[in-house]
Amino acid sequence: MPSPLPYPHYPDRNIQLLDGIWDFAFLGALENPAQVKTAEVQYETRVSVPCCFDALPAYVGKRGTAVFRTHVHTRPNRRGLIRFGGIGQWAKIYVDGKGLAECAMPYTGFGVEVPASEESLRELVVVVDNQWSDERSPLHQPYYDFYAYGGIYRAVTWHTLPEGPYLDRAQVTTLDPESGRIRVVVRLGNGEHTEALDKVEIRVDGGDARIMEDVPCEKGYFSFEASIRNPVPWSPENPVLHTVAITARGDTVVERFGLRTVSTEGRMILLNGKPVKLLGYNRHEAHPQFGPALPHAQLVQDLQILRDLGCNYIRGSHYPQDQRFLDLCDELGFLVFEESLGWGNRAPQFDSPTFTRLMLEQTRLMVKNSFNHPCVIMWGFLNEGQSDLEENRKFYGEMAALLRAADKSRLVVYATNRIMRDMFLDLCDVVCVNEYPGWYTSNQAEARPLEEIAKRFAELQKFLKATGQGEKPLIISEIGAGAIYGWRDPHNAHWSEEYQRDYLDRVCELVIADEDIAGVALWQYCDGRTYSSALALGRPRAFNNKGTLDEYRRPKMAYAAVKKRFTEYFQKG
Ligand code: ADA
């Protein structure tokens, strides 16, 4: 099944989806992948793009430099724009032998403008490197608990651009879901265009065109307000979507959005002014055969499974999500916590100019790419970072400020694993806590009774009240226990499916019964590859085995227990 183009759509442009069979070569562990002489590369095989080369049998587990090549028939003398849905870990993009851009932000969507050429057949080469390098690509570190793959993770498209300024994105903000009033901010694509646009056409939901004349542009932006004719707020129960099409200078951008607001009131999260309880899972984009380069059918199936489990909520751990996945979440009515790539980051990373620049830039691009998805209700950053060291406040503050400046319509959070020592909760709209009571323990002799879960929840709430953070919503942003698929044990021992079932059942029961807990994202949807080495005992099979499904999406015993709890909760209303 070909992968559909995600929103926004550009109906006046010729757009080619470049997913398909590309030439491929693996060059080994080069010291400087930016210096590859692309003309001299001997291609050794053909691969299917999107592709993680280190998930393929011939290159499995290898770290080094790889080269992907394809050819594109384009219109001569027209600029192009290549959109990448996400690469990893580092990539350099060449067209007709000329290096045009580098990207060191895994999982982040980005675009590369291509100068016009008289040639109609253009050569696109993507050099990808997955070696660990703090200088080149510091955002994914070897100690993270999920495998860092190398490749072109997501769809690649080539747009033929119109002459002059083109339409890049239009950000839609709901001003009032009831009356259907929206505000639209349009960004033009090349530079800081300041001349007024003589004519702009706007069509809401494919209706009649509204014409605006002499539209002033400031630094490449213009904006307007509009109304939806029959406004119906977007919600998980009724995920109604709308479109706005904007045409200027022979280019059209069609953005899709939903009318909804998200806010907090005391310990509640409100969607369209009404309390909502978030019940769902953390999900990695992962599959043993594809790494994070998931086929579209897998994205659809994951959401069908999550729907069957009764979830209304997904935490996209721990990186910007595939736009096709967020489109599906919009359509199917899931609420999403999207976060930028990070895991246990700490000083002195926050003093490194390369690390901080890339961290801020990928976070900015995440907001830009996902702004119009009604499904995204929370922006997250720095999962389990070092939020208990005062000297890190500066960078935490910068991250939160960036998100708040880029988007005033969503909640800003980070997930902490050090709640009792955390120093920056004032930066968050919701307290998000990752906890594994009854699973990880320093007392190896203990039987790890399930009672620890309730005890820990009570401790947390007492602590938050005592420190003045108790008046905000509290989400359990991770909690879970490992189980090896197929290992059944009448003793309910650690790692058995029975233990995990009882564990998650208890978690769901407690969260559902407690009005002061606004939601839970169980850890995790399915098992995912991580590293063996020193973690072998904690990560049998070199997988994080806390999935309710295994890596091939086969349900463990916990599936039925969670499904029952979540489904009953939503059925009761
Ligand atoms: C952390 C982390 C997850 C995962 C989990 C675990 O909370 O955020 O990515 O590693 O622990 O399984 O221990």
pLDDT in tens, 207-243: 999 999 999 999 999 999 999 999 999 999 999 999 9
Give me ligand 1 centre to Cα 531, in Å.
13
Q: What is the dihedral of CA 468, 471, 472, 474, to 10 degrees?
A: 90
Query: What is the pLDDT, as a whole number, of residue 535?
Result: 59
Give me ligand 1 centre to Cα 465, in Å.
26
pLDDT at 463 over 80: yes
Ligand 1: which atom is nearest the Cα of residue 383? 8
Candidate from 382, 434, 479 with most ligand 1 atoms within 8 A of CB, to mutate? 434
Instruction: Output the six-digit token pair for 410.
Output: 């969503």
User: Among 175-189, 259-273, 390-404, 444-458, where is mean pLDDT lowest?
Assistant: 444-458
Ligand 1, CB within 6 Å, residue ranges: 145, 317-318, 383-384, 417, 434, 478, 523, 544, 546
Half-sphere exposure in the Cβ direction for 147 (13 Å, CA):
31
Radius of gyration of the chain (CA): 24
Number of Cβ within 10 Å of residue 2's Cβ equals 9
**b/e per residue 78-87 (b: at least 16 CB within 10 A):** bbbbbbbbbb
pLDDT in tens, 479-495: 999 999 999 999 998 89
Give me ligand 1 centre to Cα 151, in Å.
24
Split at pLDDT 50, 70, 90, the class of 443 is: low
Helix, strand or coil, per DSSP, at residue 463: helix
Ligand 1: which atom is nearest the Cα of residue 145? 10
Split at pLDDT 50, 70, 90, the class of 190 is: confident
Q: Report the DSSP pairing between strands 80-84 and 98-103.
A: unpaired
Please report, rounded to a whole number, the percentage of residues in the chain having pLDDT higher than 70: 97
Atom 7 of ligand 1: nearest residue by CA position: 434
Q: Read off φ and ψ for residue 9, nearest 5 degrees.
A: -105, 155
Query: What is the pLDDT, as a whole number, of residue 431?
Result: 98
Give me ligand 1 centre to Cα 145, in Å.
7
The number of residues making up the chain comes to 573
Query: What is the pLDDT, as a whole number, of residue 192?
Result: 73
